[in-house]
Chains A and B, each alone.
Chain A
Amino acid sequence: MTIAVSRIEEKLYQNRYLVDSGRPHIKVRAHSKPSTNLLALTRVCPAQCYELNDNGQVEITADGCMECGTCRLLCEASGEIEWNYPRGGFGVLFKFG
């Protein structure tokens, strides 16, 4: 059976966002080598906000974030990420939810 896997961008494109430009609500702490949990975010983030850069470090682009909190549960306690809700009114705006 062929599995048609759609790109994440196609999924996120359906959603409404009000991006708070220049004020990302999640930040990744500078690191040389990512921990197991931080590396896992490149796979388990449902919006695929986390990516490995050419130097093997994890970077985040939070524009497509659905504010689920998965990365917070995995990486906030260790200080690897800094996690906040977006400012009031910003972020994902579910039409159906």
Chain B
Amino acid sequence: MITERFDAIVVGAGMSGNAAAYTMASQGMKVLQLERGEYPGSKNVQGAILYANMLEKIIPDFRDDAPLERHLVEQRLWVMDDTSHTGLHYRSEDFNEAKPNRYTIIRAQFDKWFSRKVREAGATVLCETTVTELVRDAKGKVVGVRTDRAGGEIFADVVILAEGVCGLLGTRAGLREMPKPKSVALAVKEMHFLPEEVIEQRFGLKAGEGCVIEAVGTISRNMAGLGFLYTNKESISLGIGCLVSDFAAMMESPHVVLDALKNHPSVRPLIAGSEVKEYAAHLIPEGGYKAIPQLFGDGWVVVGDAAQLNNAVHREGSNLAMTSGRIAAEAIMQVKSRKRPMTKQNLVLYKTMLEKSFVMKDLKKYKDMPALLHTSSQNFFTTYPRLMSHAAQSFVRVDGTPKLDKEKATTAAFVKARSRLGLVSDLVRLALAWR
């Protein structure tokens, strides 16, 4: 039974919850963080890439002891058909810098480290505790939480909902709607273990360097989706995510789609001989700016995936989560320092501050992208990748056909598949959505 009262309760110990709890606790606020998993990270799944800049703003010297896998020196974007991939690769020695920009991480390990920092900062972290309900006063203000532990209610001035993409509390309390199947992706992934030096040989890496492959094309079987391969120190995270609505409409099984990706001739040699040690599934918010719910109210704010803060175009999620958690904490501390109550009227500050940050600016920039990619998914994820593969093969295969004829055939294939108007319209819509 917890009888003490807290300045803030943070629900969830993922990226956003840890960022919020750390920021508040390190400034002397009395913080309780509740996590339903046995240990922080035990319910969390990510690719995963960590963006240093956003963590530096919370824990500047994180590189001293955070469990980091490899710093990334190479990014590959693949457009795939059934037998090929056409790639755009970017690799730079500039990424071998004193303070690298991006790292691969393993979330269960990283989250344990982050949680240790939260505890060292002075927060009380309670695991194996599922929050079942928000406690509200007669006027509807959130004043605490109810958990599945004996002892009933715990009270605080403000509750930070960092409960993840499928968060129950906020949706059940009517603070926000449940995300729509068309604005959420289901990703499945496996952890493939290989010796460190084998990974370095296969991807042409020096010790500590990492490589990322992200892939679109027929691998997502007409669904809007993205395949990914991230190199960790001695493992490879390999997975694929597609929209939930597409999975349901196509009646596809995620593990079958993943197995097909593993067996693709471009992927199979990269993971050959590996030992698989885990199979995970998780939802990813894909709705972008237009799917962002109400972010604050009387006695509460929502951060991270629960607030659908994910940049699907750049595949950035955890940094938006961390940043929203930090900004929510800073807003709450400002309200507190002015001795104001944690009302909707005062907590609007969180949204105002978030709008000034890259989080909302980036999501706003791409506000039309989800609708474009999700409604024309077959064109962008199957038709164009096929056309591109055929064009590339035609370009490199030498068979005595005059080059002019080859080019005409390639152009004709594009026109046949999408029509001239369709091609122009796809290009214009893409350009507009990108702008």
Interface residues of A (CB under 8 A from B): 1, 3-6, 8, 11-12, 14-15, 18, 37, 40, 43-44, 46-48, 66-70, 72-74, 76-77, 83-89, 91-97
Contact = CB atoms under 8 A, between A and B. Distances in A.
Q: Secondary structure of the A side of the interface? A: loop
A11 B190 contact: yes
A44 B252 contact: yes
A65 B42 CA distance: 14
A25 to B, nearest CB: 10
Given A5-B256, A66-B280, A89-B38, A44 B251 contact: yes
B128 to A, nearest CB: 3
Contacts of A5: 256, 259-260
Given A37-B248, A84-B168, A88-B148, A46 B108 contact: no
A94 B259 CA distance: 20
Given A87-B148, A96-B107, A68 B44 contact: no
Contacts of A1: 263, 265
A86 B166 CA distance: 13
A23 to B, nearest CB: 11
B385 to A, nearest CB: 18
Nearest to A25: B130
Range for the number of chain B residues in contact with chain A: 35 or more
A1 B282 CA distance: 29
Contacts of A44: 186, 244, 247-248, 251-254
Contacts, number: 148
| 8 interchain residue pairs of minimum CB distance | A69-B166, A89-B128, A46-B281, A97-B107, A11-B279, A88-B128, A97-B108, A46-B254
Greatest chain B CB density within 10 A among A5, A44, A72 is at: A44
Given A11-B255, A73-B181, A97-B44, A46 B263 contact: no
A15 B188 CA distance: 13
B252 to A, nearest CB: 7
Contacts of B48: 97
Contacts of B41: 94, 97
Which of A3, A4, A92, A96 has the largest count of B CB atoms less than 10 A from its CB?
A96
Given A89-B127, A96-B106, A43 B45 contact: no
B127 A97 contact: no
Given A47-B281, A88-B149, A93 B244 contact: no
Contact of B147 (A4, A37, A88): A88
A58 to B, nearest CB: 13
A8 B44 contact: no
A14 B278 contact: yes
A4 B165 contact: no
B279 A15 contact: yes
B254 A93 contact: no
Nearest to B183: A73
A70 B282 CA distance: 8
Which one of B127, B179, B186, B248 has the highest number of Cβ atoms from chain A below 10 Å of its Cβ?
B248
B188 A46 contact: yes
Nearest to B182: A73
